[in-house]
Structure 1
Amino acid sequence: MRSNSIKGLALAAAVAVLSGCATSKEELLTHSDRTMMDIWQQETGGGGSGTGQVARRQLLDARQSLRRPLTDADVQAAPVEQMRYTRTARNEVYRQFQRLPNPDLVMYVYPHLAGTDPVPVPGYTTVFPLYQRVQYAMPGERLEDY
């Protein structure tokens, strides 16, 4: 029973593979005498045909509708906008190696006696960082809260 199903699967696979070879290339990909240069010139208006000229005119009209003169506000805002995209050594380092958060720990020290002659020390609060050193994230490391 098992060998019959294996033979059936093998026969079906062979038929599928051979049916792919039965189609000719000329049937699937018909050719004309036009070259890619002819098609390009016709569609961009270089060939002198009517549809190419219409496509070229539509392209020029679309470009003209997107063009507009710069206002004074645009001219004044340009240096600030460009500065955000300007690469400097400082922003490259900070952008690639961002500092990881180093939370402060606030500790309260209760009143106590200190020293060989027990001297009373009043209670006080102190703050110190959780990590001894500044830690940096590797490039691409996740920085949002976990």
Structure 2
Amino acid sequence: MRKIWTDGLALLAVVLTLGGCTTSKEKLLPHDDVTMLDIWNVETGGGTAQQLLDARQALRRPLTGADVHATPGMQARYTRTAQNEIYRQFHRLPNPDLLMYVFPHLAGSDPVPVPGYTTLFPLYQRVQYALPGERVEDY
């Protein structure tokens, strides 16, 4: 009885699988004279390139007089001068030192006793720098 059910289910699965392959390619993906530009225009609401440019331009704000006058001062902070060379522009970020205690142990092929000692090493492998204005504290 069980074999009849499994054979019936297998036959049904094969029939459904083959039935799914009977769809024609032309019905699924019709080839019209529609171009990608036409599809784009339909999907974006019929907008043209000029309408998109106008919408982008509406989002841009013009520079005000205060922006124009503040720009050279902002750019001057990034320019190298004698004063900037003296006063660092890119501050070093703190790199804390870690202390590690090594317990007394035996080392080498001939077990030689090594007394316990303390060693110091930096937390980070490389020196890291802050961008101008990122950290204002002195280290």
TM-score where L is the length of structure 1: 0.40
Task: Choose between structure 1 and 2 for higher RCO, CA contacts under 8 A separated by at least 6 residues.
Answer: 2
